[in-house]
A and B are shown apart, each in its own frame.
Chain A
C-alpha cells in the first residue's frame, strides 16, 4: 500500500464541525480495510486529539500518515499550551470550560484515552507555546 498523508485544519470552539476530521480518518481506514481493532484505537485517539484542539486550542491542524507498517497522527495547535503535562495525563484532571462540560466533554479522559489506545505518544507543550501531540500505531 502506498504511503498516504493528509492534513486537516481544526477550528477552536467549532463544536458544529467537531469530530468531522476523525470521521474522515475512520472512513478512510475502513475503505482501505484495516483491522477493526486498529480502526477503533486510531478513531479514539484522533477524536480525543481533535476535541482537545476544539476545546482548548487556538486553531490547529491534524496530520495523518497511513502506511502499511505504521499510522501516525500529529496534532498541533496554537492554544495556551499545557503547563504540567504529568497532571494533564492524570485521569479526571481537566481545564475544560463549563460549556464543554455540559456537553459531556472535559471528563479528563482525553489524553489518558490516547495513551491507552496508542503504541507511541509524545506531547510537546509549554505554557503559552501551543501543543503538539504525536501519536503512533504499529499496524
Chain B
C-alpha cells in the first residue's frame, strides 16, 4: 500500500516553517508543482499538489483554493505578506516557508515520494 503523506508530515522532514493555515495541515499530498505564473499553475497543477513558488502576495491563496492544492510553499526564504497570511488563515490553506531554492526543495520532496506529474 502506498504511504499517505499529509502536509504535517513534510513540515519537519523538509525543514519548513509554517506561517499560516495550521488547520489545513491534515490535507493529503498527492504531488507537487513549481511555478510563479499564476495562470500556469491554474492550468497545470493537480488537486492535492504542494505548490512551490516565490509569489508571496495575497492572490496565491485564491489559486490554492480554486485548484484545491494541499499547501503553498514559499521558497528562497520568502515570507508571506500580512494580507496573504490573513487570507490563508480564513481559507485554511497552509503557507509553509523554506530557505531553499525551488529546484533543491522539489528534489528533496521527490525523494520523499512526492511526484510531479501534474493534473
Binding site for B on A (CB under 8 A): 15-16, 18-20, 22-23, 26, 36, 40, 43-44, 47-48, 51, 103-105, 107, 109-110, 113, 116-117
Number of A-B contacts (CB under 8 A): 67
Jot down 25 A-B pairs with beta carbons below 8 A, ordered by A: A15-B58, A15-B59, A16-B58, A18-B59, A19-B59, A19-B61, A19-B63, A19-B65, A19-B66, A23-B62, A23-B91, A40-B67, A44-B42, A44-B43, A47-B62, A48-B42, A51-B38, A104-B38, A105-B38, A107-B38, A107-B40, A109-B39, A109-B40, A113-B39, A117-B43
The residue on A at minimum CB distance from B54 is: A104
Beyond known contacts A104-B37, A107-B38, A107-B40: 18 more, CB 8 A cutoff: A15-B58, A16-B58, A18-B59, A19-B63, A23-B65, A26-B66, A43-B66, A44-B43, A47-B63, A48-B42, A103-B59, A104-B38, A104-B53, A105-B37, A109-B39, A109-B43, A113-B39, A113-B42
Does B47 interact with chain A (Cβ within 8 Å)? yes
Q: Which of B37, B38, B65, B67 counts the most chain A CB atoms within 10 A? A: B38
Does B108 interact with chain A (Cβ within 8 Å)? no
Q: A interface, by DSSP: helix, strand, loop or mixed? A: helix
Does B23 interact with chain A (Cβ within 8 Å)? no
In whole angstroms, what is the CA distance A16 to B82 when docked?
Answer: 12
A40 CB, min distance to chain B CBs, angstroms: 7
